[in-house]
Structure 1
Amino acid sequence: MRPTGAMHLGHYHGALKNWVKLQNEYPCYFFAADWHALTTHYEDPSVIEQTVWDMFVDWLAVGIDPSKSTLFIQSRVPQHAELTMLLSFFVPLAWLERVPTYKDQIEKLGERGHDLHTYGFLGYPLMQAADIMIYRANKVPVGEDQTAHVEITREIARRFNHLFGKEKGFEEKAEAAVKKMGPKKAKVYRELRKKFQEQGDHVSLEAARELVEDVQNLTLGDKERLYGFLEGGGRVILVEPDVLLTETPKLLGLDGDKMSKSYGNAIMLREKPEDVTRKIRTMPTDPARVRRQDPGNPEKCPVWNLHQVYSDANTKEWVVKGCTTAGIGCLECKQPVIDAINKEIAPIRERALQYEEDPTLVRNIIQDGCEKARDLADETLRDVREAMGLNYG
């Protein structure tokens, strides 16, 4: 995520809530994309440092668990930059120019768009691809509007693997990896491999993959060699990731527009209860409800969007009936939303306190995450350099 400082409810419902769930299902890597922030804010980088730490505090406060996930800062893992550069030698310019968000951003920013005719801004989808492939990630959680970025990553991985082929000495390395499994598991692996290759038994293939996945002492590189060895192919150097589409409720801002701190229409994750109450009580409502006795239409009221996310079926029914018949006033309608939001963010605010009071807690978590990320990124880069003929060891 690009560091934009303290997080609001839009970030929580749009991404963070899902990240908390995913960390229980996958080994996850979450990072502050500070280099990406420079693609559009290069003239004022001073804001980036504080926004990075504010963002991490909110991540930890919502329940991102450093014992389950790896949290780090992009620029503290310089391997991202090296892979970006190596990929840039063979990725056609036209691929980057056709990424929808590139054209959209240039058009949306009008005159300011001229400031973004930079090498870095054009190349940010390439850096995103490097961000993903450096960890050999096979799943990328995105909304539908981001699928184009994952697709270009797949194309870049495919082009790399086509140009630089399978690794040299693949079979010898695969055999060495089989031995690392230990005698019993190695024997089972060989039997399942033989069954699949001789009889096309896909049950055996799946069983062998699960066996490899469960072996603790294998590196990711070794695991990928063993997957390739099963099917009689070679090891693919860069993985083509799949999109992990995330269903996210569309939480709009207090004025009915997209929630954004810069628009002044956001409720922050560490907002005080009295500020939540004030902000929601002063929200605009259906303009047709000039007086208390005027009936309204929930569809024309920004408060209704908050009810869609926060209220149960009974409350929503009460809102529709009360609003359309003028049976309830706007302040009454807003109260269940105030209560639900304050209930949701109370534990977040409480968990954030320890990190606000002792910033070294966050610094230590991120330092550990950066080291873990660098180790994994190093492994991928060794293979990439070797495939590209840059291994002069």
Structure 2
Amino acid sequence: MRLLLGIVFFIVTTPLMAKEVIRFGSLIIHERHEQAFQQLIQSFEKEHPNYQVQMRRLSGSSFDELSSKLDNYGAELDVISWHAGDRLSVLAKSGFIKPIDGLWHDLGFNQSYPSSIRRSVTVDGKVFGVPYLYYPLGFYYNKATFARLGLSAPVDWTSFIDVLKIIQADGVYPIAFGGKESWPAAAWFDYLTLRLFGEDFYKQVVNGEVNFESSTEIQQVFTLWQALVESKFFLPTHEEISSSRSLHLVAREHAAMTLIGSFSLSHIPEKVQGKLGYFPFPQIIEDVPTVEIAPTTVMSLTTSAGDNEAAELFLRYMTKPEHQKLLANSMASCSPNIKAMQKDPALVIKGAEQLNNASSTTQFFDREAPKGFAQSAQQVFIDFIDHGDVKAALHQLEVHRQQQFIHLAP
């Protein structure tokens, strides 16, 4: 009997012990997102039975929480999904992730991604990640409200203000704003800056090269924003409203629209989504190129993986166009890979068209600016929507800039 048990134990466990483990740390935003990852992991393991993928969940309500989890796992990861822009640059410069130029060129990714997306994963001339998901930020509005008032989606600033005034006169708050998190306010700053002065100036701002108190351009950004605040276009008590709840408020006609990323659609039922329409942030200056905010998520190899061929094999598998499409769909987002274009749902397709037609794309404020400056600045943006005091806001921002970018100040 002992011999039989020993034989059974050997037969059952030896194949498991022979599997090579790939350790994958993944950003998880929603249950459907995790299910999509699990589906791909299972198909990878079926196709490559000698490998086993262990997924570590990277989730949190703030960048600090995400960074903490990544630090805790440290050398225990071979492949990670992470944010492009400054957040990726930090990992690259710290030596946490390694360049993948060989893989990038081998798979012909220069032809698969727009130049702005390639720049978001390039640090000091080297590529450190494969983009697999990005999403547009724009206005989701209540279609019934617009239909009742005979409104169409505005395309420029004048028509946008006219729409807001008509909605307000009807007794509905024009704009729902989720102030419970810090990032939604930054979307307003980002877009106003990009629409007024373009991408080059915006990059100077997030890199700490612009004095907030002396810049006439920044003054214009906040003066335009102040007009919205003073006109009381924003729904009050925004500090109690989460970004996803703002969509529900629009669907219930408590407000007419909200500026938010398409990923938030994954948090609401399809029947609620059916009540919503979409339009991009309106043009302000006609001859300023249209640059869209498109926060991008990538997959990278860690230095802990070393020359682990299994880790690279897994990365290649996960970033196939059809797999990128699956992951993007799970997040109500798009793939930046031109070979992985979405065909549905309608709201996501409209956002995808917006990104495809843009002259360029950029990351979100807290992914472009250094962490400390981004956190401080975003709180100023939130407070500004309450008080509308331009002078006070610009002074606070300049203090934070000088603290963060001491080598550039004043």
Higher RCO by CA contacts (8 Å cutoff, separation 6 or greater) = 2
Shared fold by TM > 0.5?
A: no
Bigger Rg, which one: 1
* TM-score band w.r.t. shorter chain: under 0.3
Select the structure that is richer in strand.
2
Select the structure that is richer in helix.
1
TM-score by length of 2: 0.22
TM-score by length of 1: 0.23
